[in-house]
A and B are shown apart, each in its own frame.
Chain A
Amino acid sequence: MKRTTIGIIDYDLGNVQSLRNCFKKLGYICVFSQEIKILKKCDILVLPGVGAFPPAIKSLREKKLDIFIQSLSKAQSLIGVCLGMQLLGKSSEEIESNKGLGLINAKTIQLPKNYTHVGWNNVSFNSKNFYEHDQKHFYFNHSYYLDIPKKYILASSRLDNLDIEVPSIIKKNNILGIQFHPEKSQARGLHLLECLLIDHLE
């Protein structure tokens, strides 16, 4: 049986070390590259992200990775993590107005009152497939979020002091977005990532 290959897209921003560790622990072949010919051969592509939207989209454009991601075949899956999920949307208001990759009809907007969602928060799943992960805590670190139609939201997290819910996992066809950092959420994050990958690949 062919082992699934995961390609982490290198666009010069983002902490990829932990994602690489995570995928390797789960038994996947994991490559890290900005070479389109290498990324094309991967079964799953991962768009990581620790950083701000403007330098991230600029770097993707400069490396022509934006066009590559926008023209992915349905045979390949795409997972955006944190900023990587926000890049999947149509636009962002972070620091300045920018177009995103436009793969999902959603805008990245600022959390109200300049709030920063940092730390361990619980995640509420809409799908019974993930009941064992429901209400468990995962590590978040963002001050903007993807404002997306409900039909794409697989899980969300409540910010009590703002009285709002932010999408924490989204799914559209072969695209998955995760706002928090499963790779930084210790054993529980690793297990959730494994389940998400299995569910997504099915």
Chain B
Amino acid sequence: MIKKRMVGVITVKDSLAVQSFGYKTYLPLGKPAVLAENLDRWGADEILLNCIDVSSQSKSIDLNLITSVSKAISTPLIYSGGVQSPEDAVSVVKAGADRICLDAIVSTDIHMAVEISKTLGRQAIILTAPFTRSHQDHFWLDHIGCKLNSINDLIKTIEMDIFSELMLVDSDNEGIRNSFDMSIMDKIIPLTPIPLILFGGISSASQIKKIFNIKNVSAVGIGNSLSYKELAIKELKSSLPKEWFRS
């Protein structure tokens, strides 16, 4: 039986791991490879290296950073940030990532996203969908084009069948404890069976319990709250049903 996953998220800005508060203010934490090594040792089920300034500032992907993290761990590594072509995707995998997240490219050039998926295989591709709430409705946020897309647009993109999982990122609540906006699930779950990774404002065991009781949710991403406490992952897992997690 496939187990639920706790994904340790390392947010990277200017090649440094940072604690993010709503992607607006940042606190430096140190070298990403050191944080990754800790998450690996503490029992994260996957690690997400989330390089937030690569897409938005047109920087090139830091392959050396990916390699340094990959060398430090034996946990599956997901990379996110600035993958724009099949060549980028292959370079990222060769540098040490197992899966990649596609975000901005899906809005700007969906045909390129299709080519990336054909190159790496659907299993290696995660669609990252930041969402925001405005006028009592949810929108899929295109932070590069500064546009709000509808949830129906998101569902149409998922139906192209080029992604293995959908990572829903609560942009409004990232960096705020126990604040993930669960009402988004009412919009997504009835429309698609794609496995979901939820990220942004997820930290407590009671919150994760509610989330993992939803069948479609395969994983949660946890960032800030894992970086300050050595046994945080073990403590979270021990207060949740044992059968949800790998032994």
Contacts and interface: CB of A to CB of B under 8 A. Distances in A.
Interface of A: 12-18, 21-22, 50-55, 83, 94-95, 114, 116-122, 136-137, 139-144, 158-160, 181, 183-187, 189-190
B20 to A, nearest CB: 26
B76 interface: yes
> Interface majority SS on B: helix, strand, loop or mixed?
mixed
A143 B121 CA distance: 8
Nearest to B3: A120
B247 A50 contact: no
Contacts of B161: 114
A14 B120 CA distance: 9
B123 interface: yes
5 contacts: A118-B164, A120-B246, A121-B1, A186-B40, A189-B74
A93 to B, nearest CB: 13
A52 B96 contact: no
A87 to B, nearest CB: 13
A5 B45 CA distance: 31
A55 B75 CA distance: 26
Interface of B: 1-3, 5, 40, 45, 67, 70-71, 74-77, 90, 93-99, 118-124, 161, 164-165, 195, 218-219, 246-247
A63 B219 CA distance: 39
A15 B93 contact: yes
B5 A120 contact: yes
Contact of B195 (A22, A118, A189): A118
Contacts of B1: 121-122, 158, 160
B229 to A, nearest CB: 20
Contact of A51 (B3, B74, B75, B120): B120
Those 7 A-B pairs whose CB atoms lie nearest each other, nearest first: A137-B246, A116-B164, A17-B96, A52-B121, A120-B246, A143-B123, A17-B70
Contact of B45 (A119, A136, A142, A159): A119
A44 B218 CA distance: 36
Chain A CB within 10 Å, residue with most, of B67, B90, B246: B246
B121 A119 contact: no
Contact of B3 (A54, A137, A183): A137
B2 A184 contact: no
A120 B2 contact: yes
B74 A22 contact: yes
Given A21-B74, A120-B246, A52 B164 contact: no
A181 B73 CA distance: 13
Given A116-B164, A116-B165, A186 B75 contact: yes
A83 B2 contact: no
Contacts of A160: 1-2
Contacts of B98: 15, 50, 141, 181, 184
Contacts of A94: 121
Nearest to A159: B2
A197 B118 CA distance: 32
B121 A83 contact: yes
Contacts of A116: 122-123, 164-165, 195
A143 B3 contact: no
Contact of B124 (A51, A121, A140, A189): A51
Given A50-B120, A141-B76, 5 more contacts: A18-B96, A116-B164, A118-B165, A185-B74, A190-B74
